[in-house]
Amino acid sequence: MYDKAQIQALQQTTKQFLASPLSIELNALKKVLQFHEYQYYVVNEPLISDYEYDQLYQALLKIEAADPACITPDSPSQRVGNSLNSNFETVPHLVPMLSLENSYNAADLNDFDRKARESAGLETITYCVEPKFDGASISLIYENDLLVRACTRGDGVAGEDITKNIKQIRSIPLSIPLAENGIQQIEIRGEVIMSKKAFNDFNEKLKAKQQATLANPRNAASGSLRMKDPKEVAERNLDAFIYHISYLLPIPGKTVNPLLKTHSGSLELLWNMGFRSPEKEKHLVHTIQEVIDYCSIAESGRDQLPYEIDGLVVKVNDLALQEKLGMTSHHPRWAIAYKFKARQATTILENVEFQVGRTGAVTPVAKLKPVAIGGVTVSSISIHNEEYIVEKDLLLGDTVIIERAGDVIPQIVHSIPSLRTGNEKKIQFPTHCPVCNTSLVKESTEAVWRCTNINCSAQIVERIAHFVSKDAMDIKNLGEANIKKFFELGLLKDIPGIYTLDFERISTLEGFGKKSVDNLTTAIEASKQQPLHRLIYALGIRFVGETTAKTIASRINHLLDLTRITEEQLLEFEDIGIKVANSIVHFFHDPMQLNMIESLIQLGLNVEQTSQQQTDGSLTGLNFLFTGTLTQLKRADAEEMVEARGGHILSGVSSKLNYLVVGEDAGSKLEKAKKIASIKIISEAEFIELVKI
Ligand code: IVH
């Protein structure tokens, strides 16, 4: 998209604008911002910090506010949804959006190839194989370089106009260089997706707000497209892959870019025009056997991708040949989808148990007839709350569809009412705590029922389990089963009690040999040195997740600073709203919590912020990527170490990568990196050495 000289010039202008805002010129500023959006959202290699981008963006808003007449539709400011979508108008596609025929095995693919070769009268056909993105399909129309319309697939003939929402997706450019490629109007197709990370982050936010989580990234993406408020769409961090040109109107008398002779060429052109096309992911092959071989390689690598794919799409590469093969009324004859093994399965909802969490929230957990999906046996799934049970129409004894998407926790997709026998029973929500029998309450603003007895044994055990959990104080060997055992034996009553455990007694218990007691003592002792943000998260303050805990820790020097902090001060912190601020202040004024904190300080836990001192610039300008399983560090911590030293984490192997850190069982990334001489391939131990300096 941008060549070396253009990148240098744009970087030069960026520096100049940042250094002397008075020199900013509107058109150049828009180009600079468009360039940085592309670097950030399409190629995933930002060249300026978020802060610098924001400074330039604010400058743009200022100029435009002073003279609204100068606002163009492709200005980066026009991504911000200022008005709600009243309703979505139905609009016809320029070319019907057909679906694809599916294939599931080598025989299906051989069949497809044989038919295509027979119709074409050819011995062999070159195919372009690319991911089948698991999201929501969209079509976009650009005219005279500008994005003029975006719509959903709808019934394939007409879809809904969702232009305002699509403009929130930063990897979709608002303008593209059509004219210079000889094109006046173009209609293109693609898939809006939510990366696994964006999905998990978004669900974390929902959980913190006590809202029901979304089932999978595909539902999250498709649900986003028709949202009323474009600002909410922006919050979901969606992405889009563009993979097909369905219609093209040339500029009379001008030559259309010759890349448009093949499908792979069109992906290259789309990429060059600024789209995230599967240009880097595509795979060209010359026989159907190569397609078949590639399908099994890609299927085994699907979990390594940062987004969900449900198969591959095999396309005849020559566009003239595509034209010749044509289409049926349902699908093109020049393409076929190869579907990976399903990660959905049906099973029976046998029972529902009610678990009490650390905040007293009572969560129904569906007990299922065990079923294998994608290599994992699932027998138990959280079903969140009463509303969720109604929404999914669940009855005891129902046949339900469950789904497991990548790293995502399995979910019930829906029940199948048509299979009911009449013996199914309504799920009865308890009126009293199943553990301590206190009557449950539900606040009007919440979806969950709660046990209000702070001394409920289930809550105490869960608070301790949260404190020691992997993302909190990370005390391995003290799992939930042991906590329960120690609690029942009266050996552990509260969080500070972890640090005064009677190991002599413990070593007399069955299953606690010298080695396991030693490991437990070491892990407990080591946890005292965990960074402050982990301790803040571990305390289990309502609405304070890992991210909020990091924000708080970065703004204070000592845990006890929080006993003096006001809501107003907290509201100035990034991403902290009134509900969170109120909860924090409440927590640090509660005598019971203050007592606990005092005990933890006495016991020698680290309560000071030290990570800022670690921050240095020793890795500034260097790009890192981790692959395989790290054995000594958590990947998130290793990435944090890089960022704290000024380095960047890339999402894939490219010539921009400086270091590939290789853990156990590294796969395709390592192979790819070996082919690029400039990349230094180092072990986890070498990485630790590197960050020590
Ligand atoms: S090509 C006329 N390529 O899969 C051909 N489709 O099951 C247009 N999809 O409706 C489709 N990734 O929403 C194509 N790389 C890809 C795709 C892809 C995902 C979706 C698309 C389509 C559905 C068919």
Mutate which of 97, 100, 242, 323 for ligand 1? The one with the most ligand atoms within 8 Å of its CB, which is 100
The reported pLDDT for the residue numbered 298 is 94
**Whose CA is closest to 544, among 508, 515, 585, 513?**
585
Six-digit token pair at 66? 């002073």
Mutate which of 137, 266, 283, 302 for ligand 1? The one with the most ligand atoms within 8 Å of its CB, which is 137
**Between 120 and 575, where is the model more confident?**
120
The region, left, alpha or beta by phi > 0 then psi within -120 to 50, assigned to residue 490 is left
The reported pLDDT for the residue numbered 9 is 92
Residue 646 has pLDDT above 70, yes or no: yes
The reported pLDDT for the residue numbered 49 is 73
Number of Cα atoms under 13 Å in the Cβ half of residue 101:
19
Which of 30, 31, 132, 167 is the catalytic position?
A: 132
Q: In whole angstroms, how far apart are CA 164 and each of 156, 229, 247, 267?
A: 21, 9, 22, 25
- pLDDT tens per residue across span 269-294: 999 999 999 999 999 999 999 999 99
CA dist., res. 492 & res. 513, Å (int): 19
130 CA: nearest ligand 1 atom: 15
**Whose CA is closest to 287, among 317, 258, 313, 312?**
317
Maximal CA-CA distance, the chain: 90
DSSP 3-state of 262: strand
* Average pLDDT value for residue range 20-47: 86
Give 272 Cα–ligand 1 centroid separation in angstroms: 21
Give 490 Cα–ligand 1 centroid separation in angstroms: 59
- pLDDT tens per residue across span 490-540: 999 999 999 999 999 999 999 899 999 999 999 999 999 999 999 999 999
SS (H, E, C) 580-639: HHHHHHHHCCCHHHHHHHHHHHHCCCCCECCHHHHCCCCCCCCEEEEECECCCCCHHHHH
Residue 481 has pLDDT above 70, yes or no: yes
* Average pLDDT value for residue range 360-369: 95
- Beta 376-382 vs 440-441: how paired, if at all? unpaired
Question: Which residue puts its alpha carbon closest to atom 4 of ligand 1?
Answer: 132
* Average pLDDT value for residue range 1-13: 88
- pLDDT tens per residue across span 86-96: 678 889 999 98
Mutate which of 266, 313, 328 for ligand 1? The one with the most ligand atoms within 8 Å of its CB, which is 313
With a Cβ cut-off of 6 Å, ligand 1 is lined by 98-100, 130, 132-133, 137, 189, 191, 243-244, 313, 332, 335, 337
The reported pLDDT for the residue numbered 44 is 65
Residue 243 has pLDDT above 70, yes or no: yes
- pLDDT tens per residue across span 56-87: 988 998 998 888 889 898 888 887 655 666 67
- pLDDT tens per residue across span 611-635: 554 456 788 878 899 988 888 887 7
375: confidence class by pLDDT, cuts 50, 70, 90 = low
DSSP 3-state of 504: helix
CA dist., res. 93 & res. 325, Å (int): 22
350: confidence class by pLDDT, cuts 50, 70, 90 = very high
CA dist., res. 64 & res. 370, Å (int): 60
- pLDDT tens per residue across span 98-112: 889 889 889 999 999
Residue 343 has pLDDT above 80, yes or no: no
* Average pLDDT value for residue range 356-384: 90
Across the chain, mean pLDDT equals 90
136 CA: nearest ligand 1 atom: 13
CA dist., res. 167 & res. 181, Å (int): 23
* Average pLDDT value for residue range 567-575: 86
Residue 530 identity? Q
What is the layout of strands, in order, in the sheet containing 648-649? 648-649, 623-627, 659-662, 680-683
Question: Which residue puts its alpha carbon closest to atom 10 of ligand 1?
Answer: 99
* Average pLDDT value for residue range 9-14: 92
- Non-local (6+) Cβ contacts of 689 within 8 A are none
**Whose CA is closest to 624, among 599, 600, 603, 653?**
653
Give me the residue label for tokens 């604010």: 58
CA dist., res. 680 & res. 657, Å (int): 8
In terms of DSSP H, where are the helices of 255-355?
A: 263-272, 288-300, 319-325
Can you give the pTM of this predicted structure? Answer: 0.58
Give 407 Cα–ligand 1 centroid separation in angstroms: 23
Give 154 Cα–ligand 1 centroid separation in angstroms: 14
528 as an active site residue: the answer is: no
**50-66 and 26-37 are packed helices; what angle lies between their axes, rounded to 10 degrees?**
140
Give 84 Cα–ligand 1 centroid separation in angstroms: 29
* Average pLDDT value for residue range 370-376: 79
- pLDDT tens per residue across span 215-237: 788 888 988 998 888 888 888 99
Residue 339 has pLDDT above 70, yes or no: yes
The reported pLDDT for the residue numbered 104 is 85
The reported pLDDT for the residue numbered 320 is 96
CA dist., res. 350 & res. 398, Å (int): 8
